[in-house]
Chains A and B, each alone.
Chain A
Amino acid sequence: GPNTNKLADALAIAQHHDAVSGTERQHVASDYALRLSIGYMEAERLVASSLAFLAESGSSIRQENTVTNFQQCPLLNISYCPPSEAILSDKKSLVVVVYNPLGWKREEVIRIPVSSEKVVVQDSSGREIESQLLPISNTTFNMRNKYVKAYLGKFPRETPRYWLAFSASIPPLGFSTFMVSGARQTGPSSTISLVHTLEEVT
């Protein structure tokens, strides 16, 4: 099964003094990046299978041979996250698992890119929680498209319009689960941010 051996190897190699100080040659930096990426992808599979085990062990509708497929978004920093960008409906929900690796309870604001302006966020008990939509700026959007095009060889399929932000309370060394779905036209949905632009600055 998946493990963290390649990540351990990549981290071990990156302890070289040139790696720590950033004084390695460019082709060596590229090799560190490649090894870390390979290690990350392997560790991602391990995390996905662990989360699937945790999620399904508490489910009352668990079926034999069902394996929940968890994905991560390593390019979230440039607002690229295919699972959250997919158009959401009130029939199909996006499940967001937030894991806290620290030994104390944390209050965090989670931000993910979404394509719709009618979304609702619920916690694991089905209670709606407060959320906010922030328009993705042109600068962020242009950078995302440039890098993702280079990464995929084509422009990404979806075009997210907003960052969806919601508050998450996560227990020590544990996880919280949230459901994001498309809101019904008449139902509650996220608050769209007010945007004010200072047109004239001296």
Chain B
Amino acid sequence: NKTIEVGQGSLKLLYSSDEGKLTHYVNTRSLVTTAVEQSYGYYSGNDGTDKDPQASGAYVFRPNGTFPIKSENQVPLTFVRGPLLDEVRQQINPWISQITRIYKGKEHAEVEFTIGPIPVDDGIGKEITTQITTTMKTNNTFYTDSNGRDFIKRIRDFRTDWDLEVNQPVAGNYYPINLGIYMQDNSSELSVLVDRSVGGSSLVDGQIELMLHRRLLHDDSRGVGEVLNETVCFLNGCEGLTIQGKYFVRIDHLGEGAKWRRTVGQEIYSPVLLAFTEQDGSNWM
């Protein structure tokens, strides 16, 4: 009545029909049920003027504001169902869309995001993020991979080998994500794997954040000597770059996510190759 269920195998995602938002992740085989939400936001890039002369640029992440991106519902939420997979298609705003896929035989959700061109006509560079939010009590702790190898424990606002003075509460807790990121509490763990290198963190207990795209208007004066403002040109002019990528989300009971992170991580890194040719109907190859 108020809930739309997506997925025909063990994994189901529940959406509220009132708000058109993801509300729950349910695995009927492992009996995992978690309240979960997903959102988008951006950090405004520091412009390197006024009191703080260090601008955000290719090297330096120095946000000076955090802003949620509200769904403008220009195109309504669309659900596509069939025997092999279900899709949820969302146009978040004119320059962010995503498709969430649940395959019948898989126990993770695939999220394909398309972001860009990031508007900068307000004179503000933007670094676009997505957040996956649960009620998990993660005690300031999360784990990120080390160039695809071991997952290393990260504790917010803390370093194991020196006393950290926190000057940048966001940037100081960001890590490179090449394979994935996960967090856990005393009963479950939420894992996210990526198909490309991104930045990521857990700035709030129970929440994982990924930085998916960025477009900045100032050089950080740390060596590049150029603004991170990539454009793509068409016959009638140039515009900011549009990117498309995927991330994969799974929630397990505590201690049961490692096998998925390793096997599916390898499958994301080494996708199958497709090759095509033609043949006549009777001429079987």
Give residues in A with beta carbon < 8 Å to B.
Answer: 21-26, 29, 47-48, 51, 55-56, 59, 61, 68-73, 76-78, 81, 83-84, 90-102, 104, 106-110, 112, 126, 130-135, 137-140, 143, 146, 149-150, 153, 165-168, 170, 177, 179, 181, 191-202
**Minimum C-beta distance from A109 to chain B (A):** 5
- The answer to whether A201 touches B20, judged by C-beta atoms less than 8 angstroms apart, is yes
B227 closest partner in A (C-beta): A26
Q: Chain B residues near A135: list those with CB within 8 A.
A: 80
Q: Chain B residues near A200: list those with CB within 8 A.
A: 76
- The answer to whether B76 touches A29, judged by C-beta atoms less than 8 angstroms apart, is no
- The answer to whether B77 touches A197, judged by C-beta atoms less than 8 angstroms apart, is yes
B280 closest partner in A (C-beta): A92
Bound complex: CA of A94 vs CA of B233, how far in Å? 34
Q: Chain A residues near B281: list those with CB within 8 A.
A: 90-93, 181
B73 closest partner in A (C-beta): A201
- The answer to whether B276 touches A198, judged by C-beta atoms less than 8 angstroms apart, is no
Instruction: Give the 3 A-B residue pairs with the shortest CB-CB distance, closest first.
Output: A83-B276, A132-B82, A201-B20
- The answer to whether A198 touches B79, judged by C-beta atoms less than 8 angstroms apart, is yes
Bound complex: CA of A200 vs CA of B244, how far in Å? 27
Q: Chain B residues near A130: list those with CB within 8 A.
A: 83-84
**Minimum C-beta distance from A152 to chain B (A):** 11
- The answer to whether B272 touches A165, judged by C-beta atoms less than 8 angstroms apart, is no
- The answer to whether A191 touches B83, judged by C-beta atoms less than 8 angstroms apart, is yes
- The answer to whether B279 touches A95, judged by C-beta atoms less than 8 angstroms apart, is yes
Bound complex: CA of A70 vs CA of B223, how far in Å? 45
Please report the number of residue pairs spanning A and B whose Cβ atoms sit closer than 8 angstroms: 181
Seed contacts A29-B230, A61-B284, A137-B78; 10 additional CB < 8 Å A-B pairs: A23-B58, A47-B273, A69-B277, A72-B273, A76-B274, A97-B275, A108-B272, A135-B80, A143-B114, A165-B82
Bound complex: CA of A199 vs CA of B285, how far in Å? 48
Count, chain B residues at interface, CB 8 A: 57
Q: Chain B residues near A98: list those with CB within 8 A.
A: 272-274
Q: Chain A residues near B225: list those with CB within 8 A.
A: 25
Q: B1-39 vs A: 1/0 string, CB under 8 Å?
A: 000100000000000011110000000000000000000
Bound complex: CA of A32 vs CA of B85, how far in Å? 36
A58 closest partner in B (C-beta): B285
- The answer to whether B266 touches A102, judged by C-beta atoms less than 8 angstroms apart, is yes
Given known A25-B224, A146-B234, contact A201–B81 (CB-CB < 8 A): no
Q: B70-105 vs A: 1/0 string, CB under 8 Å?
A: 010101111111111101010100000101000101
Interface-centre pick from B17, B75, B85 (highest chain A CB count, 10 A): B85
**Minimum C-beta distance from A27 to chain B (A):** 9
Interface-centre pick from A72, A132, A149 (highest chain B CB count, 10 A): A132
- The answer to whether A93 touches B97, judged by C-beta atoms less than 8 angstroms apart, is no
**Minimum C-beta distance from B229 to chain A (A):** 8
Decide yes or no whether B256 CB sits under 8 A from chain A: no
Pick the residue among B114, B234, B273, B284 that contacts A149 (CB under 8 A): B234
**Mind listing 13 A-B residue pairs with CB under 8 Å?**
A61-B284, A83-B277, A93-B278, A101-B273, A102-B270, A130-B83, A134-B87, A140-B114, A166-B84, A179-B279, A198-B79, A201-B18, A201-B20
Q: Chain A residues near B232: list those with CB within 8 A.
A: 150
Bound complex: CA of A188 vs CA of B4, how far in Å? 30
Given known A92-B278, A195-B80, contact A139–B91 (CB-CB < 8 A): yes
Q: Chain B residues near A61: list those with CB within 8 A.
A: 283-284
Given known A139-B97, A149-B234, A201-B20, contact A194–B272 (CB-CB < 8 A): no
Bound complex: CA of A70 vs CA of B59, how far in Å? 42
